[in-house]
Amino acid sequence: MDTTKTIYIVDDDEDDMLVIREAIADLNLTANVYFAYNGSQLLEMLSKEVENGLILVDMNMPGMNGIEILQTVYANPDFKHLRSILTSTSSSTELKQRALESGAMQFICKPSKYDGYIKLMNDIFYKCF
């Protein structure tokens, strides 16, 4: 049985992407990690080869926002097996509810410090798979 963990990270903020990359490297996490800067890039990746895994998607992005991305992903029966977490700088209860209704297994307010990203990535790799 293949136990390789796969995570698709979708965020248009280069600083957030850099911090996530550093957290993964600092934790020595072994996984297939794919980065997309928008929903279109994610959908293109998924259309080529879908691996079991998790999508970590930011809410606020140009074009499709995180909820629209999840709705598009889960509208395709080939992608129903993917798990997802929506992140945002907002801690809105309404946004959390919309995220869960769109298929996200969890809604997380983005960490403001590096150790928060370390904890987030550690939790994702060891609790979500």
Q: Specify the pLDDT at position 3.
A: 64
Q: Specify the pLDDT at position 102.
A: 96
Per residue in 69-121, pLDDT (tens digit) is: 999 999 999 999 999 999 999 999 999 999 999 999 999 999 999 999 999 99
129, part of any domain: no
Rounded to whole angstroms, how far apart are CA atoms 65 and 86? 10
Q: How far is CA 93 from the centre of its chain?
A: 19
Q: Specify the pLDDT at position 5.
A: 87
Identify whether the C-beta of residue 67 lies closer than 8 Å to the C-beta of residue 86: yes
Identify whether the C-beta of residue 72 lies closer than 8 Å to the C-beta of residue 64: yes
pTM: 0.93
Rounded to whole angstroms, how far apart are CA atoms 92 and 57? 16
Tokens of 96: 């959390």
Residue 2 clears pLDDT 60, i.e. is over it: no
Q: How far is CA 64 from CA 21, 60, 67, 122, in A?
A: 23, 8, 8, 27
Split into its structural domains, the chain has a count of 1
Q: Specify the pLDDT at position 1.
A: 43
Per residue in 24-60, pLDDT (tens digit) is: 999 998 889 999 999 999 999 999 887 789 999 999 9
127, part of any domain: no
Query: Helices marked H in 9-113 — which ranges?
Result: 14-26, 39-48, 66-75, 93-101
CATH code for position 99 = 3.40.50.2300
First to last CA, the chain: 14
Q: Specify the pLDDT at position 50.
A: 77
Residue 68: give the domain boundaries.
Answer: 5-116
Q: Specify the pLDDT at position 127.
A: 87
